[in-house]
Amino acid sequence: MDIESVREYCLRKKATTECLPFDEYSLVIKVMGKMFALIDLESANKICLKCDPEYALELRERYSAIEAAWHFNKKYWNQIFLDGDADDKLVQH
């Protein structure tokens, strides 16, 4: 999955909006005003997604392309490298 496909998928969800609150490279996707995704437009190969804490740990153990998100609460946020072993269906989950 490429970065634009991720963006389009996120924006198809109900009540989603996008903004650039931090800088011109950090696209934030919100649902009902709450941030659930951050897309790194500069590198274009990684995203950060909010996740259930237990499931976040499970995903990190299972996939090398998923790790605790840098600069986020690592209990809830995973960083996913789109060119790694996490498939599209997992990203869309």
Q: What is the pLDDT of residues 9-53, one digit of tens each?
A: 999 999 999 999 999 999 999 999 999 999 999 987 899 999 999
CB 18 within 8 A of CB 29: yes
Place of tokens 């986020």: 72
The overall average pLDDT reported for the chain is 90
Place of tokens 């269906």: 89
Residue span of the structural domain in which 87 resides: 3-92
Q: In this predicted structure, what is the pLDDT of residue 87?
A: 66
Q: Count of domains in the chain?
A: 1
Question: Does the structure show a pLDDT above 70 at 89?
Answer: no
CA dist list (Å): 12 to 63, 73, 80, 83? 26, 26, 20, 23
**How far apart, in whole angstroms, are the C-alpha atoms of residue 52 and residue 45?**
23
Residue 79, domain CATH: 3.90.1150.30
Q: In this predicted structure, what is the pLDDT of residue 45?
A: 87
Question: Does the structure show a pLDDT above 80 at 62?
Answer: yes
